[in-house]
Amino acid sequence: MVDVLVTNGPWLIAIAAAFGFLMAWGIGANDVANAMGTSVGSNAITIKQAIIIAMIFEFAGAYLAGGEVTSTIRKGIIDSSFFVDSPELLVYGMIGSLLAAGIWLVVASALGWPVSTTHSIVGAIVGFAAVGVSTDSVEWGKVVGIVGSWVITPAISGFIAFTIFQSVQKLIFNTANPLENAKRYVPFYMGLAGFVMSLVTIKKGLKHVGLHFSNGEAYALAFAVAVLVAIGGMIAIRRLKMNPNADHKTQFSNVEKVFAILMVVTACCMAFAHGSNDVANAIGPLAAVVSVVNSGGEISSKAALVWWVLPLGAVGIVLGLAIFGKRVMQTIGKNITHLTPSRGFAAELAAASTVVIASGTGLPISTTQTLVGAVLGVGMARGIAAINIGVVRNIVVSWVVTLPAGAGLSIIFFFMIKGIFS
């Protein structure tokens, strides 16, 4: 059956590229809310500004640092040995999975549901492999590990967000002179955000453009960037016109203005981390198709990314966000809990840190759940009454539905594509 790949190779790659682009578009439309929803929801930036920031940093993250997690999604979930005698089944399945996950993401985005792009593609791949090939072809242990990460990552990011927000309260808001303390401590938070972002850039991104650093060099460089960001923050805060003798309420709103500046830093941070982590969901299956077709049916454990695959994913993410991203932003930024810039900052920095940790370990986490967990962590710091339970319930239901929806659609598309090409 390998001759199917030889005769239809260009067609299969073209179809996979089109569906991979649809999947990337869905990631932009749905997941960009993770990067930008908190900034927009806390009124730190407008939707238009959010789209411009996300375009630059999502693209940079996807293009520079997007190669790391790709292989985990592609190789970890199904056992490639089941496809050695019929590699075309893997190609059909990956194409069907991209179409299934892409369609589900577009539907969810239209409804304003922040679902997980990772769930969508994992569900789709598990679906076609279990039904179309063999239940044994699915590495169920890996799937359980990923399901476990869906519980663990919101918990980690919620805890980090809770801690950051409590420290902001203690050091700045609950003091006699919030403004003076903001000037003193905010540069440290800015430095922390700079450190997290530069670390993922150095460790994950630069090796794809041929620059390699040892761990020590990476941490030293990240620390240098953090110091520069902190100094820049100090200068920016000093320039803000504020009256130190104002009453507490005015001081609070002035401190929030300072955090609004910080939100821009963390928004960039989150967009970059998100682009690097989630582009894998679109390009992983596409890279697998290209690799199998180009090698005449040979399934290798590692496939070098063809030059056009990453830019295709990056452009798809950016366009999806610009055209269709507003609805999910509203859900995350406004509807879960009331966000101010200081709360949004705590949530975003926590989520970015969690994504960086996961990216470093190659774990395909869901940035959606990371961010929802972080927003919930900030809400919990103010008490359970601060959280809109109805919205959270809908979000959780949409998460549960995502796996079977992706699986069901991919099974249908797998048999359709198999029927057309066989």
Average pLDDT in the chain: 83
More confident: 95 or 31? 95
Question: Is 334 within 8 Å of 308 (Cβ atoms)?
Answer: no
DSSP letters for 71-123: HHHHHHSB-GGGGSS-HHHHHHHHHHHHHHHHHHHHHHHHHT----HHHHHHH
Q: What is the per-residue pLDDT across 76-108, written as a single tens digit (0 to 9) for each?
A: 678 878 888 888 888 999 999 999 999 999 999
Tell me how crowded residue 82 is: count the other CB atoms within 10 A of its CB. 17
Residues, the chain: 422
Would you give the DSSP letter of residue 138?
B
| pLDDT for the residue 382 | 81
Judged against a pLDDT cut of 50, whether residue 178 lies above it is answered with yes
Residue written as tokens 């303390």?
Answer: 181
Alpha-carbon torsion 315, 319, 321, 327, what sign? negative
| pLDDT for the residue 72 | 40
Q: What is the per-residue pLDDT across 392-405, written as a single tens digit (0 to 9) for each?
A: 888 888 888 898 99
Q: What is the per-residue pLDDT across 277-318, written as a single tens digit (0 to 9) for each?
A: 677 778 888 888 888 888 777 776 666 677 788 888 888 988
Chain centroid to CA 1: 37
